[in-house]
Amino acid sequence: MDELATEELVEITVTVNGTVHRERVSPRMHAADFLRQRLGLTGTHIGCEQGVCGMCTVLLDGEAVKGCLLLAPQLDGRELRTVESLAQGGELAPLQQAFKDCGGLQCGFCTPGFLMTATALRESGRRLDREQIREELSGVLCRCTGYDGILTAVDRVLNGEQR
Ligand code: FES
Ligand code: FES
């Protein structure tokens, strides 16, 4: 008998980018797959699926978490934000603009992970120097940029520096 056909689905209610969604999901579905496949929010990227690359980082109740390490049922009753929440009315958010201005992206595959990690840092109100920012961003990997533009962009927004 087909195991998936007999799998019991779980009903969840989750607020994503301000919209409440009620969905029935497989208990084995990753949160990142839920966002991409069920809600069509493909800005959350998937790389390693092992919690290493940080591409899938989203904000869960304001905290940066890796979507591949969460199961969709764990989202029940929670508030989630993805990279799609950042730009408003066609205007880039300050972090997005800074990444653009500072050369903080090339292929862009890692960019949502960095943006959401940096958004959590920004909202924390913590004052961080460049080396501390580097440490905080170390959970996201980039294979293109060499990190300098990314660091400069986040430093500029967090610390208001004009480089
Ligand atoms: S896909 Fe989640 S950390 Fe790599
Ligand atoms: S810009 Fe290509 S992986 Fe970071």
Look up residue 43 and give its two tokens: 């800005």
Residues 17, 79, single domain; the answer is yes
| Nearest of 55, 38, 146, 43 to residue 102 by alpha carbon | 146
Beta strands of 37-108 (E only): which ranges? Answer: 57-60, 63-66, 79-81
- Residue 15 has which token pair? 């607020």
| The ligand 2 atom nearest the CA atom of 106 | 1
| Pair (79, 105) in one structural domain | no
Classify residue 88 by its DSSP letter.
B
List the domain range (segments joined by +) for residue 147.
94-159
CB 141 near ligand 1, within 6 Å: no
Per-residue pLDDT of the chain (163 residues), as tens digits, is 455 567 899 999 999 999 999 999 999 999 999 999 999 999 999 999 999 999 999 999 999 999 999 999 999 999 999 999 999 999 999 999 999 999 999 999 999 999 999 999 999 999 999 999 999 999 999 999 999 999 999 999 999 854 4
Which ligand has an atom closest to residue 31 CA?
A: 1
Tell me, what amino acid is at 97? Q
For residue 103, the CA-to-ligand 2 centroid distance in Å is 11
Residues 77 and 126 in one domain: no
Query: How many structural domains is the chain composed of?
Result: 2
- Cβ atoms of 81 and 116 within 8 Å: the answer is yes
Find the residues whose C-beta lies inside 6 A of ligand 2. Answer: 105-110, 142-145
